[in-house]
């Protein structure tokens, strides 16, 4: 199902087109929409949640299930507040920001060129900015019953810190030796000053993180290994090569914990941007948590008896950003003849929310198709649609990226055959109902 674009095919140029499609078809829309939305928060509807689940399942399969050297974890979102002192987030996790004294809006000091005019000032549209101040990006919450006794805590700004604090427990319980990793998928929260570009920069988002613990002598080797693995994973999801690249960090842009870092970037309509970070975090995290907790988080090699603090190679991918990259790079508008055009999401079958649409040519044929639907639901997320003309029904499925449609017509009852229609080529063929499941499996699963 590789895209074969004709010169008349248009790729996504304006994010507004994708935002509108996502809202209209129930992929993603503003959270709390009836109250006017809440900036930086998004809800995933029926199709969006399927897309997201598929991406997470692919990650879990490749990073955890297919390996014997990675264990899974699902830790609490709220950690002991000392965690964030040890991790450096209380001290370092901030952006310089300025306020406009007149319109009261807040901007990142390094993005003032994009601030736009001041809407509240008379006789001028220039802002009246304060000095830049550091603004911590962690979202605070209070824990405990009474206001006075309640203590300050944070919603985690990254999922990995509990992996470090749980490392000893997980390693011993799973009887793992270095090198090994711990992986987790979960929500993270950042009080971003300027959430923007749809879900790209949000205040609540999901990360899939792997912390891989290695001997200090092997850190370069494992960094290179994981960078290659992760790039291959994005390719395998169907993000085309020309929209993917790796960018190594310059020393001045390294996060406070990182010794070496590289980003996997995707080309969006708004430019090349990070979807995943691969970091050599050294012994920063385990060293700091040992120091702050007073517990030794080092390990002893059972053969050499060497005691050392493992180095950490981290891979950290944003699930929301990956979904956005998949949607943005799959989007096409293309002519279909007769002056008509269609919008199609050329999603890889593995991530497509609906795998097969079942379309009886007439409502009178509902019964046998409902029976088929029940059978196919045991294998895939399928969708039944008997309303509107068949061309319009195909278009509706193209627009949400359904790879295959099965049409049951007035002949099907007699000859035991249905029409199988391919999303990308729009080719149609008659196939035997009896052979439908293996044929669908071959088409949906052969793409890797």
Annotate each residue in 149-168 with x if it binds ligand GAP (CB under 6 A) or - if it does not, as one string: ---------x-x--------
406 sits near ligand GAP (criterion: CB under 6 A):
no
Toward ligand GAP, which CB reaches closer, 71 or 204?
204
276 sits near ligand GAP (criterion: CB under 6 A):
yes
Segment contacting ligand GAP by CB under 6 A, of 139-147, 198-206, 351-359, 410-418: 198-206
Segment contacting ligand GAP by CB under 6 A, of 59-67, 234-242, 272-280, 289-297: 272-280
43 sits near ligand GAP (criterion: CB under 6 A):
no
Shortest approach of ligand GAP to residue 160 CB, angstroms? 4
Toward ligand GAP, which CB reaches closer, 88 or 368?
88
223 sits near ligand GAP (criterion: CB under 6 A):
no
Contact 199, 321 (CB under 8 A): yes
Toward ligand GAP, which CB reaches closer, 140 or 367?
140
CA pair distance 105, 103, nearest whole angstrom: 5
Shortest approach of ligand GAP to residue 275 CB, angstroms? 5
190 sits near ligand GAP (criterion: CB under 6 A):
yes
Residue least distant from ligand GAP (Cβ)? 318
Segment contacting ligand GAP by CB under 6 A, of 1-9, 82-90, 273-281, 299-307: 273-281
Segment contacting ligand GAP by CB under 6 A, of 48-56, 80-88, 311-319, 386-394: 311-319
Q: Which of 198, 205, 226, 233 binds ligand GAP (CB under 6 A)?
A: 205
Q: Which residues, including other chains, have CB under 8 Å from residue 236's CB and lie 6 or more apart?
A: 58, 62, 348, 448
Q: Which of 275, 351, 376, 418 binds ligand GAP (CB under 6 A)?
A: 275
Residue owning tokens 């009178």: 364
202 sits near ligand GAP (criterion: CB under 6 A):
yes
207 sits near ligand GAP (criterion: CB under 6 A):
yes
192 sits near ligand GAP (criterion: CB under 6 A):
yes
Shortest approach of ligand GAP to residue 120 CB, angstroms? 28
Binding residues (CB under 6 A) for ligand GAP: these are 158, 160, 190, 192, 201-202, 205, 207, 209, 274-277, 314, 316-318, 320-321
């Amino acid at each position: 199902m590789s895209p074969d674009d004709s010169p008349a095919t248009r790729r996504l140029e304006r994010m507004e087109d994708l935002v509108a499609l996502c809202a209209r078809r129930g992929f993603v829309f503003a959270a709390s929409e009836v109250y006017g939305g809440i900036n930086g928060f998004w809800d995933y509807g029926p199709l969006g949640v399927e897309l997201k689940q598929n991406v997470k399942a692919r990650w879990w399969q490749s990073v955890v299930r297919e390996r014997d050297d990675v264990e899974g974890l699902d830790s609490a979102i709220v950690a002991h507040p000392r965690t964030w002192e040890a991790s450096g987030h209380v001290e370092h996790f901030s952006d310089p920001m300025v306020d406009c004294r007149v319109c009261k809006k807040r901007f990142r000091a390094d993005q003032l060129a994009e601030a736009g005019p001041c809407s509240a000032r008379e006789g001028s549209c220039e802002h009246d900015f304060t000095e830049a101040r550091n603004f911590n990006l962690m979202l605070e919450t209070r824990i405990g019953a009474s206001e006075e006794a309640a203590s300050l805590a944070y919603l985690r700004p990254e999922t990995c810190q509990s992996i470090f604090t749980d490392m000893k427990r997980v390693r011993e319980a799973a009887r793992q030796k270095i090198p090994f990793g711990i992986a987790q998928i979960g929500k993270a929260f950042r009080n971003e000053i300027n959430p923007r570009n749809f879900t790209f920069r949000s205040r609540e988002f999901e990360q899939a993180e792997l912390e891989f613990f290695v001997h200090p002598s092997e850190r370069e080797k494992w960094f290179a290994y994981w960078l290659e693995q992760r790039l291959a994973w994005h390719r395998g999801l169907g993000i085309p090569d020309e929209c993917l690249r790796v960018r190594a960090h310059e020393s001045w842009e390294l996060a406070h914990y990182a010794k070496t870092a590289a980003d996997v970037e995707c080309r969006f309509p708004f430019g090349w941007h990070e979807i995943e970070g691969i970091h050599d975090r050294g012994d920063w995290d385990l060293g700091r948590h040992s120091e702050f907790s007073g517990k030794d988080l080092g390990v002893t090699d059972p053969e050499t008896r060497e005691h050392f603090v493992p180095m950490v190679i981290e891979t950290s991918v944003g699930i929301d950003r990956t979904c956005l990259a998949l949607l943005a790079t799959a989007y096409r508008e293309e002519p279909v003849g007769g002056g008509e055009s269609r919008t199609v999401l050329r999603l890889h079958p593995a991530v497509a929310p609906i795998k097969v649409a079942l379309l009886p040519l007439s409502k009178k044929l509902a019964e046998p198709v409902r029976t088929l639907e029940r059978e196919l639901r045991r294998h895939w997320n399928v969708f039944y649609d008997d309303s509107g003309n068949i061309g319009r029904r195909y278009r509706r499925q193209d627009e949400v990226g359904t790879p295959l449609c099965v049409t049951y017509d007035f002949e099907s009852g007699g000859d035991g055959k249905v029409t199988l229609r391919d999303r990308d080529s729009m080719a149609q063929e008659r196939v035997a109902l009896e052979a439908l499941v293996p044929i669908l499996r071959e088409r949906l699963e052969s793409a890797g």
